[in-house]
Each structure stands twice: as structure tokens, then as C-alpha cells.
A and B are shown apart, each in its own frame.
Chain A
Amino acid sequence: MTEIHNPHLYVLMVFDGGYLFVPQDDVHSVEIIADVQITRTDMGAVGWFFGHGLESQVFCLAYDLSLLVDVPENHEYFILLKSEEQPLGITCQEVENINFKQRHLYPQKLPKAMKTLESPITHLLIYQDKVACVCSGTALIKHLSSIVSPFSSASKPIKTETKTEND
């Protein structure tokens, strides 16, 4: 069966009261934190998720996208981001599917003056009287890879799923 690609579909993650949107195409599934086996890993993950026949590390981020080593009590969900090797989980307080077109939401490019080489954020968006960030799953995994590596010299870089125009 062919997957239907809708560029307007995003997954909203809420953490620390901040909003982060990731394209739905980049998300494997949404799960509940109760299904995570909480065990800190060398790479800074808060635990493992064994589901869909895969082993996935689950990470916890603060709104400034820095790594948290403990899961805040209000993080009840996590999303599994698609990646080349194994999906990768990121916890959040709330999660919701949002259709930008239906909700009349228009992402605006991150201002040039705010860009940094390590930032996964490409766009900003006005959502519910706040400014939300938008980033791709690939960029988020790359960002995670850059911040988790100091945790262990033995840690492997996380491979991101690369897309070609033919995909």
C-alpha cells in the first residue's frame, strides 16, 4: 500500500510549556511513557522502548532542546522518530496531530539573524498566542546526536534517515 504524503500534517509536541512541530512523515508512532523501560543509557537516553519489533532509545528534552537525564513527571508521551537504523523516542507532555492547512497555520522562516549551525529549527509559527518552533525529524535526530555524544566516548552517532528526491 502506498503511503499518502501530506506536507501539511505535523505532530505537535509540548514540553516545558513550549511547542515543537515535526512533520508527521518523520514520525513513526506516538506512544505512552508507561511503555518505556526507564534505564539511563550511556548516550543520555532515559530508557528503552521495545515495540514494533524494534529497540529504541528514548530521550528527554527541555524546551531549550538541551538533554534532560530524568523524565519530568508531566511527560506522559513520547514520539518515535523515524531513523535509518532504529526509531528514536523523544518524550513530551502533550502530543497532537495538526493539519497546518486546515488550521490556517503558516510557518515563517527562522529570521536570518537567529540562525546557528547547530539549530534544528527552520521555521517559527504563531500557535495559540505563542510562538512555536518547527523542525524536521532528521534535524532533530542530528541535534540529539550532537548533544548526546559527550555522554560516552563509546557512543555511536545516531544515523538519520536520508531522503532522496525519488523517495
Chain B
Amino acid sequence: MTEEVAKNSRAWLLDFGRGLQAAVGHHEMWQVLISPVLFEVPCTLTYCSEVLVFQDRILPVLDMSNLLEGEKTIPVTSSVVGIAIYQDEPTHPIHYAGLHLATRPQSIYVSDNQACDLPAHQPDWEPLALSCFFHKGRTIPIIELAYLFSEEFNTKMLQIKK
């Protein structure tokens, strides 16, 4: 008997390297850039020290593996950057931001019955995850992009760095 999969919503599965994976809503990934030109900005946090120019906008490019593991794992020479979009509030304007990826995002379907708790061994995802789902034997957190790129999260990270 074939298992029936309820195809409720589409999402992008993001691979940040080092086995770090997460997902965003299908509408939250705007474009994928292969080896874009990145510019280093001085006096910034190590996980978000680069920007790129996208449609006349200067966008921050965040390195999740650096944020969560403290190490840069993605080679700069063949970088993949996903252009994510988010809103601080539903009525607020759209913001764009870049995410370093190890590979191109994968389009997947996620249903409610895949929902699960964030495993205890992945506490670093906790503040960033809206919820989690089980996919191919792994727990995948769904990232809250607005929080990840917010002043509030930045302030929290600065306090941790102190």
C-alpha cells in the first residue's frame, strides 16, 4: 500500500553545510544567485559580515553555519546565496536578505502531520525556529526570517559576544 502524503504547503529546504538544514516558506525565497560578488563590511559580526548588490539594493548576507557553529564552512569561490524575503509585520514593507547556502535550495512539500518538536540536541535553532517538521529522517526547523535579520536578534547576539 502506498502511503498517502497530504501535500499541504510548499517550502524550500535549505542546506547550510555541515549537516545544517532548515526550511523557509516557498514564498520566502526570491532567487538563488550562484557565485555573486560579495563585499566585506568592516566592524560587523562574523556571521553577517558581507553584503551583495541586488537590484540596486545592498543586502546583508548571513552565514548560518558561522552563526550556529562559529565556523565558515562554505567556500567563498563557489558560493550559493539565496535571496530571502520577509516582512517585520504583515503591513510592513518587504525586506530582502541573503543566506549563504552549500547547495541550491530544494523545493519540498510539507504537511501538518510531519510537524514535530525541535530535538533537545539542537537548542541553537530554538530562538530562530517557528516550528519543525520531520523530513527524510531528519528534523527540519522552519526559520523565522524576520527575527533572524531583526535588531532584536542582533542585540541578543551582541550581548552573547560580550
Chain A contact residues, CB within 8 Å of chain B: 18, 63-65, 108, 110-121, 124-126, 130-131, 133, 143
Is the pair A111, B39 in contact by a Cβ cutoff of 8 Å?
no
A109 to chain B: closest residue by CB: B58
Q: B4 near A: Cβ within 8 Å? A: no
In angstroms, Cα B41 to Cα A115, docked, is 10
Q: Which DSSP category, helix, strand, loop or mixed, fits chain B's interface? A: mixed
* Distance to closest chain B CB from A136 (angstroms): 14
Known: A111-B97, A113-B153, A131-B58. 8 other contacts (CB 8 A): A111-B58, A111-B59, A111-B60, A112-B149, A114-B41, A114-B44, A121-B43, A125-B58
B43 to chain A: closest residue by CB: A119
In angstroms, Cα B51 to Cα A126, docked, is 11
* Distance to closest chain A CB from B57 (angstroms): 7
In angstroms, Cα B47 to Cα A114, docked, is 9
Which among B39, B44, B153 is the interface contact of A131 at CB below 8 angstroms? B39
* Distance to closest chain B CB from A50 (angstroms): 30
Q: With A108-B57, A112-B150, A130-B39 given, is the CB distance from A119 to B51 under 8 Å?
A: no
Q: Which DSSP category, helix, strand, loop or mixed, fits chain A's interface? A: mixed
In angstroms, Cα B41 to Cα A51, docked, is 33
Instruction: Determine the interface band of chain B, counting residues with CB < 8 A from chain A.
Output: 20 to 34
Please indicate the chain B residues that have their CB under 8 angstroms from the CB of A112 in the complex: 149-151, 154
- List B68-114 residues whose CB lies under 8 Å from chain A: 97
Is the pair B58, A113 in contact by a Cβ cutoff of 8 Å?
no
Is the pair A113, B42 in contact by a Cβ cutoff of 8 Å?
no
- List B1-42 residues whose CB lies under 8 Å from chain A: 39-42
Q: B118 near A: Cβ within 8 Å? A: no
